[in-house]
Amino acid sequence: MRLAPVLAAALAPALGLAATPVAAQSLPFDATAIDAATYDGGALPEGQSALTAKVQTLLDRAGTSPGVIDGWKGGMSRTAILAFERRAGLEPDGAMDPDLWRALGGPDATGLTQSYTITAEDASGLVDAIPDDYAERAEMDRLAYLRVTEKLAERFHMDEDFLIALNGGGTFDPGRTIAVMDPGEDVSEPIARIVIDKSDQRLTAFGENGEIVSDYPVTVGSDQLPSPSGTHEVKAVAVEPVYTYRPDENFQQGDNDEVLQIPPGPNNPVGRIWIDLSKPTYGIHGWAHPSELFTAASHGCVRMTNWDATELAHIVSPGVTVEFRE
């Protein structure tokens, strides 16, 4: 995907309140159970569990992103565990064990969840709908959030359905206090090198002395539309980018055969961040569908959750090398 490195101007928010109650899926635990979860050995529980939600949050705090925090045992959690094991000098098998639990600080961890009161600002600046057609999107002012729950889930690194279920559904209006995860502070150490492992679908960021600074799950291209190979460099970083749709260079969406300027916002095709690479038309960027990182191939670029891409954007700079490994 080619992107013009344009920084978006601030837009005046329009008030949009989520007055319609939201139905919640059944959740076998609550926020208290996440904080109280303990590990007694063996693999993580099958399905969705308080322990897995706790481990995901501890991984996030340790600079090894699990992608979305959702309590589900799955591919993103396994690759995050594997990445943390390598970083911590543990046996890299991607499985839960007592050494991993101790290295994450599990026995002494507190405050995995927190209370948060929804504000009027949280409920502002929403849009009613985002059309599939790119020409229609180009007519919009901003590809903003659709729902308060979408906005808050991204802020706290959570799957939106998980956030809703953890709070029993209902309305998410200003004044309501809800339970959310506490993923900790963003990584802030500048990086000197990036390695993207296509097979593991992980991006690892290294510091000046070769130490691992952070690690993230990513989506890479398919066999038909592969991501680059070899080593390239970061050329530029754009926050809140305008996406330039060029069907002659990338892919054609619907019947749109003309160049279009797609406005910024978290639901922009490249999310909140574009990190331009020296390989023409390729970059590392955010994405509006974090739970689907491991289920949908990209058009060749490297997708990240919006929050992981934002963290990376603040520690990367032009000239940083980006190596793609098969």
Please identify which of the residues 232, 285, 289, 299 carries the catalytic annotation. Answer: 285
Residue 12 has pLDDT above 70, yes or no: no
CB 164 within 8 A of CB 156: no
Confidence class for position 224, pLDDT limits 50, 70, 90: confident
Known catalytic residue: 301? Answer: yes
- Model pTM? 0.91
Q: 67 and 212 share a domain?
A: no
> What is the structure's pLDDT at 24?
74
Residue-number span of the structural domain to which 219 is assigned: 193-325
Residue 2: partners with Cβ closer than 8 Å, 6 or more residues away: 244, 246, 249, 250, 280, 281
Q: 134 and 179 share a domain?
A: yes
CB 120 within 8 A of CB 135: no
Query: Which of 185, 203, 233 is the C-terminal boundary of a domain?
Result: 185
Span 80-94, average pLDDT: 97
Q: 72 and 214 share a domain?
A: no
pLDDT single digits (tens) 156-205 = 999 999 999 999 999 999 999 999 999 999 999 999 999 999 999 999 99
Please identify which of the residues 232, 289, 299, 301 carries the catalytic annotation. Answer: 301
Q: How many CB atoms lie within 10 A of CB 139?
A: 10
Residue 8 has pLDDT above 90, yes or no: no
CB 226 within 8 A of CB 300: yes
Report the C-alpha gap between 317 and 192 in whole angstroms. 8
For 221, half-sphere exposure in the C-beta direction (CA atoms, 13 angstrom radius) is 19
Has residue 8 been placed in a domain? no
Q: 219 and 281 share a domain?
A: yes
> What is the structure's pLDDT at 26?
83
Q: What's the gap between Cα 221 and its chain centre?
A: 17
Q: What is the CATH number of the domain that holds 218?
A: 2.40.440.10
Which token pair is 113?
């969840």
Q: What is the rounded average pLDDT for all residues in the chain?
A: 92
Q: 200 and 320 share a domain?
A: yes
Report the C-alpha gap between 229 and 196 in whole angstroms. 10
Structural domain count, the chain = 2
pLDDT-above-70 percentage for the chain: 94
Greater confidence, 81 or 5? 81
Has residue 207 been placed in a domain? yes
CB 241 within 8 A of CB 8: yes
Has residue 56 been placed in a domain? yes
